[in-house]
Structure 1
Amino acid sequence: MTIAIQIIQFILIISILVILHELGHFLPAKYFKTKVEKFYLFFDVKFSLFKKKIGDTEYGIGWLPLGGYVKISGMIDESMDTEQLKQEPQPWEFRSKPAWQRLIIMTGGVIVNFLLAWVIYTMLLFNNGDTYIPSDSLKYGIVVDSIGEQLGLKTGDQILMVDDKQTKKFNEAILDIILGDEVTVRRDGKEITFPLSDEGKETVFATQGKRFLGYRSKAMISKVMPNSVAENAGLLPGDEIIGVNGQNTKYWDEFTAKIGSSVNQKLDISVLRAGKTEHLDLVVPEEGVIGIQLDLTDLSVTDNYSFLAAIPAGYNRTIQVLTDQIRQFKVIFNTKTGAYKQVKGPIGIVEMMPEVWDWTFFWSFMAMFSVWLAFLNILPIPALDGGHVMFLLYEMISGRKPSEKVLETGQIIGFVLLMGLMLLVFGNDIWNIVKRFI
């Protein structure tokens, strides 16, 4: 049932994005009286799951869930159907329209993707606000594991800047560190700047960035699980753990490290309760978990937005996501980081979906992925929207149309490049699965 929920979420997100992207081409084509022969969700190689012709357009659902398309009359596209182009141009064909109209038709999908992300982020900020942990409120600094130490960071550091840029939110600081070149921290009262090693980033990507960097906090208990070791020992929500076996454990990471290394051992836990110190005994179970949750309410803040304020904030969030995605290419193309090995295809993306339905994640992921599709589609690669835009801009600047032979050759080259990339991504997904069983 879990995998079914993940797959359904992924297919629904992709379906909505594909339909809206293709509408971005379809609507201006219809507006400019250009004949649209097909409108398909997914690809109908050899056959389709469903199809119905309404007017001049055949609407359908293909069986290959790798995107979708609209087939516009008189246009060289991924179908490579050039028979029609051998006839005299007709007024309803794409090739007969002015260059500026063709440009609007070809950029329509990307524009819709961008606007969709903007709308989603606006509504999320309006409804939920923006909850985050401010970087400057981490008075106890960060906590890192051995992977974070490979990057040059140390537990207790306070992050000041990454690449001379101050970050407002802690989660943004994490991404900036992964994508950045150098970081400035306050360590033992001194400000130091050091480069972020490619070797450290390689380890971060190899482990998919799990827990290499966190924030340090006092061991304040927010919740005690029913029938847990902690409840049986008498621990209560609101207790502050200050020691174990007479040794000070001022921070949560120190306490959890002590618990993890004391399986089947009896421990004397010192807690601060209502201004008084109390001592409680417990035996750490085999799984090394005693059943308490950390209280982080003193760290996180929420910025609330009116509807009007959420509109520019949603736009800024969209631009920030786009900027971060562009920055990722710098890391992916740096072979020393090994980031290219972690590029995910459909299988890997399905695994990212939550195991229970989460509407906030659903819309947030759709917005992020919509920006990603807009960025990829506008790249000047033949067979993508950006490739068509590239040839159109050449025509508008030079006053000469590229020959049909050039367009056909470009389409073939682009198609081969995209198929090669798809094979690489799918192969990466499969290899990552295989490695779990080796």
Structure 2
Amino acid sequence: KEQMAQPAQPWEFRSKPAWQRLIIMIGGVVVNLILGFLIYMMVLGVWGRDYVNQGDVSHGFSAAPVAKDIGFQDGDKIQSVNGEELFSVLDISRHLLMRDVNTVEVVHQDGSEEAISIPEDFGMTMWKNGQEVPLTPVGFATLDSVLPNRAASAAGLLKGDSILSINGNPVQYWHEAKAEIQKVFNSNLLMKVYRNNEAIYLAVRNDSLGKIGVSGGSPAKTISVSHKDFSFSEAISEGFSYGYWTLHDYVVQFKYVFTKKGATQIGGFGAIGNLFPAAWDWNQFWMNTALISIILAFMNLLPIPALDGGHVLFLLWEMLTGRAVSQKVLERAQTVGMLLLLALLLYANGLDVIKGFF
């Protein structure tokens, strides 16, 4: 305080013109962005990128109820989005949730083609209905996991079991099995499964949400993954594009954060740790490092006192009005900003703890 009460010295930050101070304040944000973009360029140049072509999803996509409401059908094959093919057709759900999608061109199971119009607020509809992935590659009705201490494990279901029928209704694909399991809540199910070269019957009861504690339908056998390597110049172009859309999608998703459901999805250090795989993978490490760098750039630019964005806001005010904000206002704003950030930190990490134990 004593130092700030003295006249500004030529070497002090506060003595510089407002435009110079503005450049300094946004310097950290710019460096984080550049770093994230450069890492994406490096990763694509070194490891390339896996993708799935439009024609390499052999059984098409299964559609969640929210997707069926606007015209999608089980078995649809995605041809294009807004008239352009996706780099990887598996990105379709992310485009519907985060991007400005007007039409999706599909081929239905019967061979007919249709351009499905996407409502303007479809992303929010997906979010509110808990169907953020409305289109998933069709997978066979094989169990990928059976949760312990749930109805399925108590009934004797095992990982790798192939479901042949439920209550006498034959099923081949996972979305068909899931529909049968959830047809009536709190009901008894007679499941015919194939295990060790023989068919057996098991009785299981679903819960009030229509669940029995299993997951399945891995599309590993129904999709073909391709790989593309990039030249030096291609890696620069593709890395910039990947970084741009990563930043775009992160900014867009904030509209979901400011909802009742979104407030419970915030994560802290635990959520960041969960980004990284259990087994070390340099490719994934660098991809996540680039993502975190871009997230930090955006978050630090938010107009909250104590963040660079808060200082930028005050500097812009000074440049527009010709009058600097008083030191007392700056100090109070800094205090409020620090308290707000501390509260957000405690809230986000508290949610991590709750999710970890409940």
Normalising by structure 1, what TM-score? 0.58
CA 200–397 in structure 1, closer or farther in 2 if over 3 Å, else same: closer
Match of 1:214 among 136, 150, 163: 136
| Higher RCO (C-alpha under 8 Å, 6+ residues apart) | 2
1:385-424 equivalences in 2 (<5 Å): 385-424=308-347
1:198-237 equivalences in 2 (<5 Å): 198=124, 200-204=126-130, 213-216=135-138
**Structure 2 partner of 1:309:** 234
1:340-379 equivalences in 2 (<5 Å): 340-379=263-302
1:134-213 equivalences in 2 (<5 Å): 134-135=53-54, 137-138=56-57, 140-144=59-63, 153-159=72-78, 167-179=86-98, 184=103, 186=106, 187=108, 188=110, 189=112, 190-193=114-117, 195=119, 196=122, 198=124, 200-204=126-130, 213=135
Normalising by structure 2, what TM-score? 0.70
Contact preservation (8 Å) 2:25, 2:308: yes
**Aligned-partner Cα distance in 2 for 1:356–1:88:** 57
Secondary structure (helix, strand or coil) at the match of 1:192 reads strand
Letter in 2 for 1:215: P
Secondary structure (helix, strand or coil) at the match of 1:214 reads strand
Match of 1:98 among 8, 14, 17: 17
Contact preservation (8 Å) 2:267, 2:348: yes
**Aligned-partner Cα distance in 1 for 2:199–2:172:** 20
Contact preservation (8 Å) 2:92, 2:135: no
Secondary structure (helix, strand or coil) at the match of 2:26 reads helix
Letter in 2 for 1:350: G
Match of 1:115 among 29, 34, 42: 34
Letter in 1 for 2:258: F
Letter in 1 for 2:303: P
Contact preservation (8 Å) 1:151, 1:197: no
Rg larger for: 1
Q: Quick check: 1:319 aligned with 2:244?
A: yes
**Structure 1 partner of 2:208:** none
Gaps of 5+ in 2: 142-157, 181-188, 203-212
Shift of 1:203: 4.7
Shift of 1:397: 3.5
When the two structures are aligned, how many residues end up with a matched partner?
311
Letter in 1 for 2:333: G
Shift of 1:119: 1.3
**Aligned-partner Cα distance in 1 for 2:174–2:64:** 14
**Aligned-partner Cα distance in 2 for 1:150–1:165:** 23
Secondary structure (helix, strand or coil) at the match of 1:131 reads strand
- Higher strand fraction (1 or 2): 1
**Aligned-partner Cα distance in 2 for 1:248–1:301:** 33
Shift of 1:266: 5.4
Secondary structure (helix, strand or coil) at the match of 2:130 reads helix
**Aligned-partner Cα distance in 2 for 1:395–1:255:** 63
CA 251–426 in structure 1, closer or farther in 2 if over 3 Å, else same: closer
Letter in 2 for 1:91: P
CA 382–178 in structure 1, closer or farther in 2 if over 3 Å, else same: same
Counting aligned pairs with the same residue, the percent is 35
Contact preservation (8 Å) 2:267, 2:352: yes
What whole-Å deviation, never above 9, does each CA across 1:155-174 have from its counterpart, x for those lacking one? Answer: 21334566888643234312
**Aligned-partner Cα distance in 1 for 2:140–2:199:** 22
What whole-Å deviation, never above 9, does each CA across 1:223-249 have from its counterpart, x for those lacking one? Answer: xxxxxx9x9xxxxxxxxx9x99xx998
CA 416–122 in structure 1, closer or farther in 2 if over 3 Å, else same: same
Aligned-residue RMSD, C-alpha: 4.2
Shift of 1:433: 2.9
**Aligned-partner Cα distance in 1 for 2:90–2:310:** 35
Letter in 2 for 1:327: V
Shift of 1:107: 1.3
**Aligned-partner Cα distance in 2 for 1:341–1:168:** 32
Shift of 1:310: 1.0
Shift of 1:98: 2.7
